[in-house]
Amino acid sequence: MTIDDRTPDRNLALDLVRVTEAAALAASAWIGRGQKESADGAAVNAMRSILATVPMTGTVIIGEGEKDHAPMLYNGEVIGDGTGPVADVAVDPIEGTTPTAMGRWGAMSVIAVATRGSMFFPGPIVYMDKLASGPEGIGVVALDATPRDNIRELARAKGVAPKDITVAILDRPRHADLIEEVRSAGARVRLIGDGDVSAAVLTAIDESDVDLLMGVGGSPEAVLAAAAMRCLGGQLQARLWPRDTDERDRALAQGYDLEHVFATEELVDSDNVFFAGTGITDAELLRGVRIVGGRVHTHSIVMRSRSGTIRTVRAQHQLTKLRAIQLLS
């Protein structure tokens, strides 16, 4: 069997959580310091250094991207140790650079890996309109339906009233009308400052009271969230959302269909997907990095679609040793 025939195997999961742990630890040194670029640079360097040891031949499909002026983890970069499976990779060393810099809730480090050729590349389109739900919403809610109809139908499927439904929405001026419509339908709104990957994941976590994610957020985050949903059994629907005429024209010239609603399986077309995330600052999904005495505590989640396994990993690291290997300054 050649490398090109192989897909990611079960041993990859804990390698990936080491990757997000390293990025979260590096970023944590910059929490509350008001320097987004420094935090992001530290996380990128740490993530890439550990990725170099992961047994795979991965190609970055969703990376730091042009908007980040990234010299590393850019789209198309080949990562891993050059052995093992050939794979697509999506990374966000810090999902939530502003919360990290400002010391606010909701930042984490994220990576997803899937069979080569399975991840959607959004091209020049930076944003997508999204709808995420847990398994109960499959075949029940739709991006093309109104928020009111989606709330009503999901409430019916869950056997609750619309007033018992909670919708996560990014707190942005563009969502003023959406927020009002959700409230007028009787549902609760959970405004989030950043981090719609974690909000999408929460819709499919039993312990969470978030039922839906609605609104426009980053297109790279849509692919990362779809990878998580392949593992969790939930869904993410999304449509490309050009910011201006120039972005629209470039997308059309490259053959993108701006009316198409992408299903989860189109965003990540594989049944062998890994997803890992580690908290940087505290959030509902994961606790952030904490230094207690001489120990550093991290909280991570790691999932695999093929087995349906979801692990939470609470780790302790020695502060002096992390500083010795320059993972924490």
Q: Residue 127 annotated as binding? A: yes
Q: Residue 195 annotated as binding? A: yes
CA distance 265 to 46: 31
Q: Residue 172 annotated as binding? A: yes
CA distance 24 to 47: 9
Q: Residue 196 annotated as binding? A: yes
CA distance 56 to 198: 26
Q: Residue 68 annotated as binding? A: no
Q: Pinpoint the alpha helices (H) of the chain.
A: 12-28, 36-51, 97-102, 147-158, 176-184, 196-202, 219-232, 245-253, 264-267, 319-324
Q: Residue 177 annotated as binding? A: no
And the tokens for 130? 């999204």
Q: Residue 21 annotated as binding? A: no
32, with CB counted inside 10 A (0-12, 13-18, 19+), is middle
For residues 10 and 61, the answer to whether their CB atoms sit within 8 Å is no
* Cα dihedral 56/300/21/67 (nearest 10): 80
* SS3 sequence of 42-94: HHHHHHHHHHCCCCCEEEEEECCCHHHCCCCCCCCCEECCCCCCEEEEEEEEE
For residues 119 and 224, the answer to whether their CB atoms sit within 8 Å is no
CA distance 187 to 169: 12
Q: Residue 218 annotated as binding? A: yes
Q: Residue 134 annotated as binding? A: no
Binding site as annotated, residues for Mn(2+): 40, 64, 92, 95, 221
Binding site as annotated, residues: 40, 64, 92, 95-97, 127, 172-174, 194-196, 218, 221
Binding site as annotated, residues for substrate: 95-97, 127, 172-174, 194-196, 218
